[in-house]
Structure 1
C-alpha cells in the first residue's frame, strides 16, 4: 500500500479501494479505519441466500438490480460497507465494484454484528437519500426489524415476528414472507 495521506497513518478511501482489489479477506472502511469481515455461519449464509433469491425473482423484468455480500456500498464519503443484500433501482453508476444509490439494504445480524447493524450502520444508511428501507434480519429467531422512510421523509420502524408474517419491501415492490427468509432452518 502506498504512503497514507491522512493524519495518523490512516488509509484514504482511494488506498482502501486499491487494497481491497487484491485482498483475500473483505474489509469495511469507516472514517479511515479498516475492519476485516468475519466469516459467516451456514445459517447466516442460508438466510442471505433466501432473501436474495426472493428479491431477485421479484425484480425480474424491472429496473432493479439485486446484489449479495460482495458488492460494496458507499454509504458516505468516508464509509464503505458490504451489505448482506442490497437493491438499487435507479441508473447504474460507472463504478463496477461500488453501489452509491441503493433503495433497500438488508443486514443479517449476528451476535458479533448486531450492535453495529443497529447503531453505526443504521445511522449511515438513513443518510443515503435514495434508501427507502433497511431490514435487520435476526438469525436466532423468526424476526425482521424493518426501518422505512415514510412519504414525508421521516423514518419509521416495525417488526415482523413468528410464523405466517411478512415484510413489505418497497423495491422491488413485494412482500417478503418470514417463511421464505427462514426456509430450510
Structure 2
C-alpha cells in the first residue's frame, strides 16, 4: 500500500482509537500518522495470491495469515504489512506483535520505504523469521530469512525459481505468485512457455 499525506503528531492511544472509526488506514511511525492510499491492480493481485497460497497451506496449522488490514506493532509504531503470518497464538483484535512472516509488495513509490525504514523496524521483531519484498512492476522477489544464529540472510528469486518459506514448510514457484500479473517479465515468460510447449508437440 502506498503512503500518502503525513498528519500532525498524535499520541498512541488517539491513533488506535482513530483507526477504529477511520475509512482510511494510517501507519503510525515515531508519533507521526501517515495515510495509506490505494494500490495498483497488480499490487492487489500479488497480495491476494500470496494470501491465498498461505491460507490454503495453513488450513490445519495453528498459524493465521492476514492481508492488509491487520497491523503489526513494533514498540510504539504500527505498520500495515501487505501479508503476514502469525504463529504466536496471541489474541489481539487489531494488531499483532509476533508475526513469523511479513510480505510487502513494492512499487516505485514504496520501494525505498520498505527496503530501509520498514526493514529496519521489522528486523527488531524477535519472532520474525522471513521478510519478503515482491516487486509488482517486474519479476523479482527479495527474500530475507533469519538463520539459527539470528543473522539475516538475503536471497533473490526470479521466474523459474522456487521460494522456500521454511518457517511454515512451504515452497512456492515464483510463477505462481505472479500468475495474475501482466507485467513485461510475465508476458515474456508466458510467451516463451507457449513456444516451448508448441515445439514439444
TM norm structure 1:
0.91
What is aligned with 2:170? 174
* 1:81 shift after superposition: 0.4
Number of aligned residues: 174
What 5-or-longer segments of structure 2 have no aligned partner? 1-7, 182-201
1:153 to 150, 153, 157: 150
Aligned: 1:123 with 2:126: no
C-alpha distance after superposition, 1:43-69 (max 9, x if no partner) = 100000111111111111011100000
Aligned: 1:41 with 2:33: no
State the secondary structure of the residue aligned to 2:37.
Answer: coil
Q: Give the greater-gyration-radius structure (CA).
A: 2
State the secondary structure of the residue aligned to 2:155.
Answer: strand
Q: What is the 5 A alignment of 1:32-111?
A: 32-74=31-73, 76-93=74-91, 95-111=92-108
TM norm structure 2:
0.84
State the secondary structure of the residue aligned to 2:99.
Answer: coil
What is aligned with 1:23? 22
Q: Kindly report structure 1 stretches of 4+ aligned residues shifted beyond 2 Å.
A: none
State the secondary structure of the residue aligned to 2:180.
Answer: coil
In structure 1, C-alpha distance between the alignment counterparts of 2:88 and 2:126, rounded to whole Å: 12
C-alpha distance after superposition, 1:72-102 (max 9, x if no partner) = 110x222100000000112222x21111100
C-alpha distance after superposition, 1:138-177 (max 9, x if no partner) = 011111000110111111101001x221211133220121
What 5-or-longer segments of structure 1 have no aligned partner? 1-8
- Kept in 2: contact 1:89–1:171 (CA 8 A): no
**Higher relative contact order (Cα pairs below 8 Å, separated by 6+ residues):** 1
CA root-mean-square deviation:
1.0
Residues 56 and 171 (structure 1), Cα distance of their counterparts in 2 relative to 1, 3 Å cut: farther
